[in-house]
A and B are shown apart, each in its own frame.
Chain A
């Protein structure tokens, strides 16, 4: 059973001013006063010491951050570390969050940095955020094939997941991260640029190359068969 932070911290961390009213023998759940569907209000409340507001942010984004960690590192243990560090660091540094971006964007930025550090530790000489040297090949017109209307239906879900994980893991990390943020997590170009510390033009360039490379890698699985 997962510990319920809300109920636990209803006892441990009463709101400012309430200290001394609650006692260990009289546990009362902390009821946050903020509206739950507004991220900036949750962040403000969390900054003011409302633990349940921070818990709400965790519940809202934990799956997305874990998925992002999995997709970047391709490793479950690393993804777990990435997720934990992202939430712990965001909590510890919440006072430094100025609100000039969405909290989610800030959280993703922390998670991406953690994930890239994991990759660098695993392959210290292979992971760089600089543009890799071109291989001299034009990835676009080398192979042009028709996939048919619903190519993904050729595969069972598990098999499809294996294919997608396989092709994305072959991408250079800088292209992979751009693609994951924009096309999987739905982060805007502007926010992706902010997260990666690059220009919007650079995001678009990386995204184009990522999309074209993935398309090319998927050709062999999705090409229309003669019976289609």
Chain B
């Protein structure tokens, strides 16, 4: 496997859906290619950092307006049924 093919298979590899033969080929390439190893490592960290980032809080006033709007819709719906 060459560097270009590693990149093409990167998403499947990181998502753990690459078949075992292909994964073995890819990992063999990684064991001898520093550039690809760094790309795989930093791409994996990119995903982890976003995945672990602090969730945006739902502000209380925003939540209140949502529930008020829903309340109004439920009321209107109740009147028409």
Q: Is B35 an interface residue (CB 8 A)?
A: yes
Binary B-proximity of A21-61 (CB < 8 A = 1, otherwise 0): 00000000000000000000000000001010001001000
Chain B residues, Cβ within 8 Å of A12: 74-75, 78
Chain A interface SS verdict (over half): helix
Assembled-state Cα–Cα distance A51/B76 (Å): 13
Chain B interface SS verdict (over half): helix
A172-191: which have CB < 8 Å to B?
179, 183-184, 189
Binary B-proximity of A185-215 (CB < 8 A = 1, otherwise 0): 0000100000000000000100110011011
- Interface residue stretch chosen among A106-114, A127-135, A140-148: A140-148
- Pick the contact of B55: A8, A62, A63, A179 (CB < 8 A): A63
Contact A87 B70 (CB under 8 A): yes
Contact A88 B69 (CB under 8 A): yes
Contact B38 A184 (CB under 8 A): no
Q: Is A157 an interface residue (CB 8 A)?
A: yes
Binary A-proximity of B55-71 (CB < 8 A = 1, otherwise 0): 11111101111111111
What number of A residues sit within 8 Å (CB to CB) of B? Answer: 52
Contact B41 A183 (CB under 8 A): no
Binary B-proximity of A66-79 (CB < 8 A = 1, otherwise 0): 11001100001000
A-B contact pairs, 14 of them (CB 8 A): A2-B63, A13-B78, A58-B70, A62-B63, A91-B77, A141-B3, A144-B39, A145-B42, A146-B42, A151-B45, A164-B53, A214-B46, A218-B46, A222-B42
Q: Hey, which bits of chain A sit against chain B, CB under 8 A?
A: 2-3, 5, 8-9, 12-13, 49, 51, 55, 58, 62-63, 66-67, 70-71, 76, 80, 83-84, 87-88, 91-92, 140-141, 144-147, 151-152, 157, 160-161, 164, 168, 179, 183-184, 189, 204, 207-208, 211-212, 214-215, 218-219, 222
